[in-house]
Structure 1
């Protein structure tokens, strides 16, 4: 795990899945954030939100641009691991019992039908529409009891950022076991309803944000505006951090 832009990232996909398996086998409760540009931006403007993002196991990198920034600053070679990918990987592995929380019942029903084509065991799993309310109004003890009664190993949460990260942070103390993973729009993408993911050629060329802007202009333009306004400062801070770290570990030369 590495900390960049004040977020604890795990870029190694195999390590992500090993950590999930270890927590589940040990009956531990925790969560994983899927950090895109919106999460990174908000975490660096809101200390309480940053504490929520970093209060779980780690974040996987849902941004295709963060690996580019890190390559420029640190000469590293990291890869994006987006919410749709980790969602599909875990479902298709057929290793865990899962629960699906959030969004509307219509999307949940369509999602279930599509996921059954990947993993027929999904038929017997819980799909629960969370009430539409602020993050302060959820009945966390009741939700935790429902999850424990279901014996879900993985709890997928789709409430949109920043709400879903705050939700997991507040639910964690009430859970005895289970790994929550926030997947944002993955429910909508894989339900086949409403928003669809960008074509692969756009994803491969770091243009997914353009597709999202045209799909949801009002929502995405506001998010992009915040990112554009704050990104230069974030890059400068990370560059200075890299220089400080390099100076600290540089070997001393004794004549």
Structure 2
């Protein structure tokens, strides 16, 4: 990804250089967003090799954006948000159309890597690798339901903390307290479920402040709490999960899908941006 690194940072921490090396993480630029041209196997292998280095370093606190058509269009329309997407560790292709465009542009191994699927894969590996999880976002009720389900479905999983922020901006003092609480639990992964663009903005603001790898997963908390269901696997495999979500919540999603999907097709597919 495009990540400026000054000489002071390089001298201070040579060990961290591989995490921001553009040559290590392949990407496909779509509407100005550097979408990681990867698949789930590649991503899991990368995290397995590097997640401990991220958290054992004074400069830990990187973030991963889980990007789809909606966030890519928002990034195209907002220079600030586009910078947030591009300055994280990587922006993974949650949306099927992103991986399809990637294939068309020569990235044959690029496949859809959804937030909930990544959560499931890392939960499955948690006991083996000793991953420690912190959950930031959603409601207290959803967090508690999710924790109970995770402890049943993934015996031995370490949920080291949860925080449901108020529906307002935190004061500086409150924010400092939250950072201390999160860091005090020594998490490996901080799952952020605030919805786009709020979660990406929060992660960018807390980059290098929290000691753990932040991953913004949108509605991922609701899936694992049992509040909403994922699409059947055949729909996921056919890139039709958006349709399943639209059927579940047409009032909220219809207008968004109409605007962003049509604009994406026009700009990315027909104009090649």
Superposition TM-score tier, normalisation by shorter sequence: 0.7 to 0.9
Contact 1:141 1:174 in 2 (8 A): no
- Which consecutive unaligned segments of at least 5 residues does structure 1 have? 241-255
Deviation string 1:145-189 (CA, Å, 9 cap, x unpaired) is: 1111111121100011111101111122432x2111111111101
Query: Residues 56 and 169 of structure 1 are in contact (CA less than 8 Å); yes or no, is this contact kept in structure 2?
Result: yes
TM-score, length of structure 1 as denominator length? 0.84
Whole-angstrom CA distance in 1 between matches of 2:155 and 2:108: 39
- Kindly state the Cα deviation for residue 142 of structure 1 after the two structures are TM-superposed: 2.2
For structure 2, the residue ranges without an aligned partner over 5 or more in a row are 1-24
| Alpha-carbon shift at residue 75 of structure 1 (Å) | 5.8
User: Quick one: distance in 2 between partners of 1:166 and 1:196?
Assistant: 27
Q: Counterparts of 1:124 and 1:230 in 2: how far apart (Å)?
A: 40
**Match 1:96 to one of 131, 134, 146:** 131
1:143 correspondence with 2:178: yes
Matches for 1:163-174 after TM superposition, within 5 Å = 163-174=198-209
Aligned mates of 2:169, 2:96 — CA distance in 1: 30
Q: Does 1:219 align with 2:227?
A: no
The offset of 1:117, in angstroms, is: 2.2
Q: Deviations over 1:75-112 (max 9, x none)?
A: 62311111011111212212211111110111111100
Name whichever of 80-89 and 21-30 sits farther off. 21-30
Report the 3-state secondary structure (helix = DSSP H, G, I; strand = E; otherwise coil) of the residue aligned with 2:214.
strand
Q: Which residue of 1 aligns with 2:155?
A: 120
Alignment partner, residue 84 of structure 1: 116
What is the CA–CA distance in structure 1 between the aligned matches of 2:115 and 2:52, rounded to whole Å? 18
Deviation string 1:218-255 (CA, Å, 9 cap, x unpaired) is 22112212323321113345x36xxxxxxxxxxxxxxx
Q: Looking at CA atoms only, which structure, 1 or 2, has the larger radius of gyration?
A: 1
- Alignment-derived partner of residue 70 in structure 1: 102
Q: CA deviation at 1:135?
A: 8.1
Deviation at 1:8, TM superposition (A): 2.8
**1:202 aligned onto 2:202:** no
* Corresponding residue for residue 35 of structure 1: 67
Question: Structure 2: how far apart are the matches of 1:60 and 1:37?
Answer: 12
Equivalent residues of 2:131, 2:158 under 8 A apart: no
CA 1:9 to 1:19, structure 2 compared with 1: closer, same or farther past 3 Å?
farther
* Pair 1:18–1:136, CA change in 2 (3 A): farther
Question: Are residues 1:4 and 2:29 paired?
Answer: yes
Could you tell me whether the CA contact under 8 Å between 1:67 and 1:79 is conserved in 2?
yes
Change (3 A) 1:120 1:55: same
TM-score (norm 2): 0.79
- Matches of 1:4 and 1:83, distance apart in 2: 20
Question: Structure 2 vs 1, CA of residues 227 and 101 (structure 1 numbering), >3 Å: closer, same or farther?
Answer: same
Report the number of matched residues: 237
